[in-house]
Amino acid sequence: MDGRAEDRGRVYQASGDQHITEHHHYGGQPAAPRGPDSVRRPAVGRPPVVLRDRAEVLERLRASARTRRGGEVYVLHGMGGCGKTAVAYTFFQQATGEFGRAGLWVGAADRASLRAGMLAVAADRGADDGELLAARNGLRPAADLVWQYLDRSPEPWLLVLDNADQPEILRDGHWLRSSPGGIVVVTTRRSAPHWWPGARLQHIGVLPREDAARVLCDLAPHSGTREQAAQVAERLGRLPLALTLAGGFLSQQVLDPWTMETYGHRLDEGERVELIDQGADALSEQDPRHTVGLTWQLTLDAFEARGLSEATALLRLLSRFAPEPLPLSVLDRAEIDGVVPRSRCESALRALLDQSLTELVDVGVRCAQSHGVLLDSVAAAAPEQQVPVLDTTAVRLLDAAVPAVPDAGPHDPLLRLLVPHALALLRRVQDPRASADALAVVTRLTVALHRTGEYLSAWETARAAADLGESRLGAEHRLVLAARSRAGRALFRLGRYEEAESLLAHVRAVQERQFGPRDPDTLDSCHGLQLVLGNLGRRDEAIALLRATIAGRRRALGPAHPLTLRSRASLLVLLPAARVVAEDGGALLSLPAECARLLGPDHTVTLGAHHNHAWALYLLGRFDEADQELRLVTEAYLQRFGPDYPIALSAQQLLSRTRAARGHMDEAIALMSDVVARRERAMGADHPFTVAGRQLLDEFASGRRQPPPA
């Protein structure tokens, strides 16, 4: 991560394990992240026309919102499709509109979405960029930061944690807490009380007969009588999701409209479509969720009859992904032609929207989202002969959405939106070749997360991907090992050095046995392992491994390859000053110029080489040269990452040293004061980085700091 008091183990400052891209764009300010996570808008498409038969639970929730007090946690539980989110949405609107509470909505279906959403809550409640960055980097507990700001909130709030069907995620991160400042509402399919200690559990079931009939009449008022609607509702098990799909179908028929009586007859004639409701209890033969498959199958049959086969194909393609917001940009690509002609994708999506088979949601970027019960049933019923092309197309779409060569940069929330879909696809795919392709995409996504400082998400995603890949491809498959290696690199960035060493050493040993010591994957793990060894204080081992990595990369990739140059740049901080001068016949000290000539002056590796070179010059007592070089590096980092990014603070700390060594003590104190203040805000006063920075600042202030010997 960052160097401590003496800036040793400064591999992080060199961008040491950054992947390479040939294109950089700089401006006067760091690039703003695209599509920021929005927690003020519920991730719900079309709200229910009328919420039927939920008066009792809504009144209980409203009673808690009327007062200024907080501290309550409500858990709305029930089977998939019963309308838990609709209840939460209606209460959200009432709490914000009638009672003036700040409404905060977070998707809790997976770890990445939950963490991103909760950090967006912290930002909404006043957390600054430095604090958020430290939480994403794993430098401070993210949940503590969020609840600290919720507790301090000047206005009462409502926090909805939607689709928390894996409550262990909430428990592992200690994300679910109560606060006197607000009310928490959780929607989940998991009702076991041990998951929700201290919470008020509220079951949300199917609708009574009369209310279910009213829902159908609300959605399709001209399709039949109340009694006919009641008969159809009974046939659909009075499940709100099934009623919504049926009502959407009936309301959209124009040329040859169906009556409710006709719809009921077709349901009686239909064959049951197998349904998997993940996260809930096993389905009985009478379970109303079975009827969801019948409702959408009738809709798809109507699509085929009307010449809208593309809508059917698009829904089956969507079923390869997760029931989470999917950026529309993922679908708007030429790669979709394998399933739906791109020119017909708009009309196909519109047909699905009209029939309530998917919804548009806005989470800072426009997305499509379908219900999990629907997607599971559609996926299970997809014709076997179509599955390979569906899987291949889904992989290609995600492949096009993930940066081809991830590079360091500011936080990009679009990457987080892709995580649940990438993992869902990896779970769906069964064919080994498609599984391998999907695993390669997910691993590259973890690299992209890593590059933007999302180390926890990178580790969790890489670990999950490796486990899923192992079940399909085997523990020693090249891509499974590559995913494990990425997990080890993320552990290193999280400061979990012993775990990182164990994992990377194991992966390297298997890769060396399977592919040989000069294989690029083996060498990549070697580079990651030497970073860990250097930070564990085992410098001689790290140097030996790094030399072997450089030699291997020279042979495998060539001396001008960015990865070869990157490994050479690491030597600048790992070698003692006296050995730097003699290394490689004296050529190591000219490495920044070589990188600039081969890669360009703004390349990631070039900037890292300049940073490390400045450290070497500082140790050699060449303070003027080090100071000049660091000024350029610091400015580049500030423009690219912003002032709170660890690598920018690391460069600024070293710049304060060179300023002090040249006798500009006032400027050195000002620079280090800013570093300490930013670290204190981001990580707290007692964090080792903050303490080390404060010690250096105290030395500057007392005039006791002496430059290192030349």
Residue 29 in this model has a pLDDT that exceeds 60: no
Find tokens 């279906």 and name the residue: 109
pLDDT band, very low/low/confident/very high, at 178 (cuts 50, 70, 90): very high
CATH code, 168: 3.40.50.300
Q: Angle at Cα 369 formed by Cα 33 and Cα 96, nearest 5°?
A: 75
Percent of the chain with pLDDT over 90: 59
In this structure, which amino acid lies at residue 345?
C
Is the sign of the CA dihedral 47, 50, 53, 56 positive or negative? positive
The residue-averaged pLDDT of 597-607 equals 94
Q: Does residue 665 lie in a domain region?
A: yes
Higher model confidence: residue 241 or residue 148?
148
The residue-averaged pLDDT of 631-656 equals 92
Number of domains in the chain: 2
Last residue in a domain, options 203, 235, 265: 203
Percent of the chain with pLDDT over 70: 88
What's the per-residue H, E or C state across 389-429?
Answer: HHHHHHHHHHHHHCCCCCCCCCCCHHHHHHHHHHHHHHHHC
Q: Does residue 337 lie in a domain region?
A: no
Q: What is the pLDDT of residue 30?
A: 42
Last residue in a domain, options 178, 203, 228: 203
pLDDT digits (tens, 9 = 90+) for 369-417: 998 888 888 898 889 999 999 999 999 999 999 999 898 888 888 999 9
> CA 573 to CA 565: how far, in whole Å?
14
Task: Taking each helix axis as running N to C, give the angle between helix 260-269 and helix 290-305, from 0 to 180 degrees, rounded to the nearest 10.
Answer: 110
Q: Does residue 296 lie in a domain region?
A: no
> CA 245 to CA 374: how far, in whole Å?
10
Q: What is the pLDDT of residue 707?
A: 54
CA proximity to 705, closest of 677, 664, 649, 645:
664
The residue-averaged pLDDT of 297-322 equals 86
> CA 14 to CA 633: how far, in whole Å?
11
42-56, 464-478, 674-688: which has the minimum mean pLDDT? 42-56
Task: Taking each helix axis as running N to C, give the angle between helix 387-401 and helix 309-318, from 0 to 180 degrees, rounded to the nearest 10.
Answer: 70
117-126, 189-198, 274-283, 291-300: which has the minimum mean pLDDT? 274-283
Q: Does residue 425 lie in a domain region?
A: no
Highest mean pLDDT among 13-17, 224-228, 563-567: 563-567
Residues forming a β-bridge with 490 = none
Residue 23 in this model has a pLDDT that exceeds 60: no
Query: What counts of helices (H) and strands (E) characterise the chain?
Result: 31, 8
Q: Does residue 13 lie in a domain region?
A: no
pLDDT digits (tens, 9 = 90+) for 437-462: 999 999 999 999 998 888 999 999 99
Q: Angle at Cα 620 formed by Cα 616 and Cα 625, nearest 5°?
A: 75
Q: What is the pLDDT of residue 1?
A: 30
> Token pair of 480, please?
């499974």
Q: Does residue 617 lie in a domain region?
A: yes
What's the order of all strands across the beta sheet hosting 102-107? 102-107, 157-162, 182-188, 73-77, 200-203
Q: What is the pLDDT of residue 688?
A: 81
Q: What is the pLDDT of residue 114?
A: 93
Q: Does residue 102 lie in a domain region?
A: yes
The one-character DSSP state at 51 is -
Q: What is the pLDDT of residue 591?
A: 96
Q: What is the pLDDT of residue 19?
A: 30
pLDDT digits (tens, 9 = 90+) for 483-515: 999 999 999 988 899 999 999 999 999 999 999
Q: What is the mean pLDDT of the chain?
A: 86
> CA 333 to CA 488: how far, in whole Å?
33
Strand stretches in 260-380, DSSP E: 326-327, 359-362, 366-369
Q: Does residue 305 lie in a domain region?
A: no
Decide the pairing of beta strands 326-327 and 359-362: unpaired
> Token pair of 144, please?
């503590």
* In contact, 652 and 636? CB cutoff 8 Å: no
Residue 270 in this model has a pLDDT that exceeds 70: no
Higher model confidence: residue 21 or residue 606?
606
* In contact, 224 and 200? CB cutoff 8 Å: no
Looking only at Cα atoms, what is the longest distance across the chain? 94
Range of the domain at 106: 55-203
> CA 208 to CA 52: how far, in whole Å?
9
CATH code, 676: 1.25.40.10
Residues 6+ apart with CB under 8 A from 258: 223, 249, 250, 266
Higher model confidence: residue 119 or residue 38?
119
The residue-averaged pLDDT of 360-376 equals 88
> CA 53 to CA 209: how far, in whole Å?
10
What's the per-residue H, E or C state across 252-269?
Answer: HCCCCCCCHHHHHHHHHH
Q: What is the pLDDT of residue 489?
A: 95
Last residue in a domain, options 156, 171, 203: 203
Residue 648 in this model has a pLDDT that exceeds 70: yes
Find tokens 């990896």 and name the residue: 426
Q: What is the pLDDT of residue 245?
A: 82
pLDDT band, very low/low/confident/very high, at 46 (cuts 50, 70, 90): low
The string of DSSP letters for 215-282 reads HHHHH-TTS--HHHHHHHHHHTTT-HHHHHHHHHHHHH--SSPPPHHHHHHHHHHSPPPP---TTSPP
**Chain centroid to CA 625:** 41
Residues forming a β-bridge with 368 = 326, 360
CA proximity to 115, closest of 139, 75, 143:
143
Highest mean pLDDT among 25-39, 119-133, 214-228: 119-133
> CA 447 to CA 454: how far, in whole Å?
10
The string of DSSP letters for 454-478 reads -HHHHHHHHHHHHHHHHHHH-TT-H
> CA 164 to CA 144: how far, in whole Å?
19
